[in-house]
Amino acid sequence: MSRIASWMQQPSRWRATTAWLFIAPFLTIFIVFTAVPALLALIYSFTDIGVADIRRPLDVDFVSFRTFARVLTNAGFLKSIWTTALFVVIGVPLTMAIGLVLAIGLNNGITKLRATYRAAFYLPVITNIVAAAVIWQYAFTLSGPVNSFLTSVGAAGPNWLGDPKMAMPTVIMLAVWRNVGTCMVLFLAGLQSIPVDVYEAAKIDGASAWRRFTAMTLPLLKPATLLVTVLMTVSFMNIFDEPYLLTKGGPLSSTKSVALWVYEQFGQGNIAPAMAGSYVMLAIVVILGVLQLRLLRAR
């Protein structure tokens, strides 16, 4: 304690220098591996750079917004936007609903082994996604455990990963399974910050459990809901691991997200369209984030 007090009494310039020394490693890594590449990607998205120009990146031609026009009229890119929108529209509410139910259960219903359940629900967040995807691929193959179970109860199991109509729900299930633990933890923190006195007063006034949930819990959870909504929207907008590891974006590009489309374009040597596509995606994410903050911000 005395060391902290003596450090606080030192001149402000010395304290500022110490603070900069502490953040210097992170700042250096961020500038070198994030800020500079992002700036270069923005600059080159206005050029015609291709794989043949890698050795002479300064010899490329400036083409203004023509690369963005090509991307925005590309059928594959437009389909990937539609696919990503489906991931967001279905995946985000589903993940948040399950996370909220689990948080309420841990906060009110589950009294025994609460820490064990909390760890079990959060385990998918820290599980290696490659290992999880391998297990899911095996589970949802034609002769996997899921179809074997359906056959045992008299139902015909579908081609989960080979049918365009079933591949999307299968990928969404993996994404929900992976993200629901994050929602649960954030909702649980929000629930535990609500004063117990408020609920006791409502009970004395005769408010039912449903009335307390809709009129008290949900409004008081608004800050946590805003945070979870923004985090989950960004997560599902940038979804890449799940469709890449499960289906490679197939079948028939039914699970190809924008991030996966950008990755494929870069791999095919279409560097400028890949950079332009990534910035279109960034613009959509920023617009959605601002809209969510305005709509859900506590007044």
pLDDT at 8: 63
Distance CA 150, CA 141 (A): 12
Encode pLDDT of 207-246 as tens digits.
888 888 888 888 999 889 999 999 999 999 999 999 999 9
Instruction: Name every residue whose Cβ is closer than 8 Å to that of residue 171 and which is 6 or more positions away in sequence.
Output: 87, 242, 243, 246, 247, 255
Q: pLDDT, tens digit, for every residue of 97-153?
A: 999 999 999 888 777 777 888 888 899 999 899 999 999 989 998 888 999 999 998
- Across the chain, the runs of DSSP E, i.e. the strands, are none
Proportion of the chain above pLDDT 70, given as a percent: 95
Confidence class of residue 10 from pLDDT cuts 50, 70 and 90? low
- Res 209: pLDDT: 85
So what's the pLDDT on residue 156?
A: 85
Q: Please tell me the predicted confidence (pLDDT) of residue 299.
A: 56
Q: How many C-beta atoms surround the C-beta of residue 179 within 10 A?
A: 26
Report field, pTM of the whole predicted structure over 0.95: no
- Per-residue three-class SS string for 104-172: HHHHHHCCCCHHHHHHHHHHHHHCCHHHHHHHHHHHCCCCCHHHHHHHHCCCCCCCCCCCHHHHHHHHH
CB 165 within 8 A of CB 252: no
The yes-or-no verdict on residue 275 having pLDDT over 70 is yes
